[in-house]
Amino acid sequence: MRSYVLFLALLQLLGCSGIPLHNPELQSMADRGLVAALAEVNSVYAVNHLYRVTQGSVTRVISTGLNTFDLLMVFDIKETECLKASGNDPQTCPFRPGFFVPSLSCSSRVRTSATSTQVVFLKCGGSSSSSSSSEESSEEKFPRGRHQLNMPSVNRGCKAR
């Protein structure tokens, strides 16, 4: 138990110091967390087309209990060619071509354990679309209840602040 606590302290210290973390368990949790957050983004923000992650990072790992962690993440998304109703995995969809394709910057808090992933908080904003509609340019916050989501992995890395 003592070594486990020291390991978590080391993760907190190195979390965003620019040193990549090569912990397969943490990497798996971060992957599941990012995919769960993307699924939530697509259920809330996507109108006709799905969004896909362009880049993402875990900014902080918070231990909330035995083998349960809250991951604070930031990520950017861009609209894809896949229709929302298609049921496709957004990470396999090509981005829509063109300069004025909607994109957003998001932050989220995702609670992960060995068996579940739950989006606790999600906020997206900063549309770079040419449209000036308040729907696309406004920043919205969505605190979330309990959702059990298990999804495939995507890439993420630690951003220097």
**pLDDT tens string 110-151:** 999 888 999 999 999 875 443 333 333 334 444 443 333 333
Please check whether residue 11 is in contact with residue 158, taking contact to mean a CB–CB distance below 8 angstroms.
no
pLDDT for position 82: 94
Residue 47 in contact with residue 86, Cβ under 8 Å? no
CB 106 within 8 A of CB 76: yes
Q: Report the sign of the C-alpha dihedral through residues 19, 20, 25, 27, in that order.
A: positive
Kindly state the tokens that stand for 10.
Answer: 């080391």
pLDDT of residue 1: 58
Q: CB neighbours (10 Å) of residue 31? A: 19
> Hey, CA dihedral for 90, 75, 69, 142, is it positive or negative?
negative
Selection from 76, 63, 21, 43 nearest residue 151 by Cα: 43
User: pTM here?
Assistant: 0.65
Region of poorest pLDDT, from 20-24, 52-56, 66-70: 20-24
Partners of 58 in the β-ladder: 73
Sign of CA dihedral 97, 101, 102, 103: positive
- The predicted pLDDT at position 54 comes to 93
Who has greater pLDDT, 102 or 16?
Answer: 102
Is residue 12 very low, low, confident or very high in pLDDT (cuts 50, 70, 90)? low
pLDDT of residue 160 exceeding 50, the answer is no
